[in-house]
Amino acid sequence: MSIHSVGQDQPAAGPDHASERKRQIARAAMSCFARRGFHVTTMHDISAEAQISVGLIYRYFENKDAVIAYMAGEHLAGLREVLEEARKAPSLFEGLKIIAICHCEEEPDLQPAFVADLFAEAARNEHVRRMVGEVTEFFIAGLAALIAGSKEAEAARVDPRTAAEIIMDSTRGMTMRAIVDSSTLSASQIRERQLAMLRALWPLLFASAAPAASLERSSA
């Protein structure tokens, strides 16, 4: 499809179409940031990836920071959904399993590379640093609340906040490893590795063994 295909450069009509267009641009930006890095990527690169004109992109986002801000908002919304789903799980382990694999995309070569570049940009860009910090704190706080409300919290080896930070940092570390392994591992294999990490952490955080692997597979 050409960048200037019929209808591609027309402004989206109505809030639903505008949201769809923003998501299209954000997805294109993620691909560009993952491949080229935030600093090197231009709005023209994003427009080519999205197959729409750069002028139309500027109708929705004034610059790359605005694109990142939108992506952070979308990510927060997604985290709220994941945490809500985890709260409805029949056990803490099942809830944490949902959280542990929520970053395992069907395109494992894209998401980890984007996250790595985003954290690198946070070291240089105060605006990005604040956004990354807000998303991280929201997720840790939600995870800590999930743990605190469980029966396992009564016999936990560490407090809920510390447990949440350990799980968060371990999951993030596994995400970084996926950058190296994405060419040889499928999304399913990466999810299995995340679950193995959760099972290994479980007896270190809580005074009990993780559920049997056979039961875990049967409930998936």
- pLDDT single digits (tens) 191-218: 888 889 999 999 999 988 888 764 444 4
Q: Is 95 exposed, middle or buried (0-12, 13-18, 19+ CB in 10 A)?
A: buried
Q: How many domains does the chain have?
A: 2
In the predicted structure, residue 15 carries a pLDDT above the cut 90: no
Q: How many CB atoms lie within 10 A of CB 112?
A: 25
Residue with tokens 């990510």: 75
**In a shared domain, residues 31 and 97:** no
Alpha carbon distances (Å) from 109 to 20, 32, 91, 95, 120: 24, 13, 31, 25, 17
**104 conformational bin, left if phi > 0, alpha if psi -120 to 50, beta if neither:** beta
Residues 94, 47 within the same domain: no
Which one has a higher pLDDT value, 106 or 66?
Answer: 66
Specify the pTM.
Answer: 0.78
| Span 85-100, average pLDDT | 92
Smallest CA-to-CA distance from 195 within 165, 170, 177 is with 170
Distance, CA of 26 to CA of 73 (rounded, Å)? 11
Residue 172: the pLDDT is 84
Nearest to 215 by CA among 90, 62, 101: 90
pLDDT exceeds cutoff 80 at 6: no
Is 60 exceeded by the pLDDT of residue 7? no
Same domain for 189 and 135: yes
Same-domain check for residues 16 and 44? yes
Distances (CA, A) of 149 to 11, 144, 145: 47, 9, 6
Taking only the tens place, the pLDDT of each residue in 107-145 is 545 567 788 888 888 898 898 899 999 999 999 999 999
Let me know the angle formed at the C-alpha of 75 by 69 and 76, rounded to the nearest 5 degrees.
Answer: 90
Together in a domain, 47 and 113: no
Mean pLDDT value of segment 47-68 = 93
**Residue 193 is part of a domain; what is its CATH number?**
1.10.357.10
Residues 145, 47 within the same domain = no
Domain-ending residue, one of 62, 79, 99: 62
Listed residues 45, 62, 79: the one ending a domain: 62
pLDDT exceeds cutoff 90 at 43 = yes
- pLDDT per residue as tens digits for the range 144-173: 999 999 999 988 999 999 999 999 899 888
- 53 and 141 co-located in one domain: no
Q: Is residue 25 located within the same domain as residue 82?
A: no
Q: Which range of residues forms the domain containing residue 154?
A: 71-219
Looking at residue 48, which CATH number applies to its domain? 1.10.10.60
CA distance 63 to 65: 5
Average pLDDT, the chain: 83
Same domain, 139 and 198: yes
Beta-bridged to residue 206, according to DSSP, are 156
Is the pLDDT confidence value at 47 over 50?
Answer: yes
Q: Is the pLDDT of residue 83 over 90?
A: yes
- Residue 154 DSSP symbol: G
Q: Examine the domain organization and report whether 141 and 182 are in the same domain.
A: yes
User: Within this chain, do residues 93 and 186 fall inside the same structural domain, yes or no?
Assistant: yes
Read off the tokens for 54. 């750069």
Where does a domain end: 62, 95, 113?
A: 62
| Same domain flag for 173 and 121 | yes
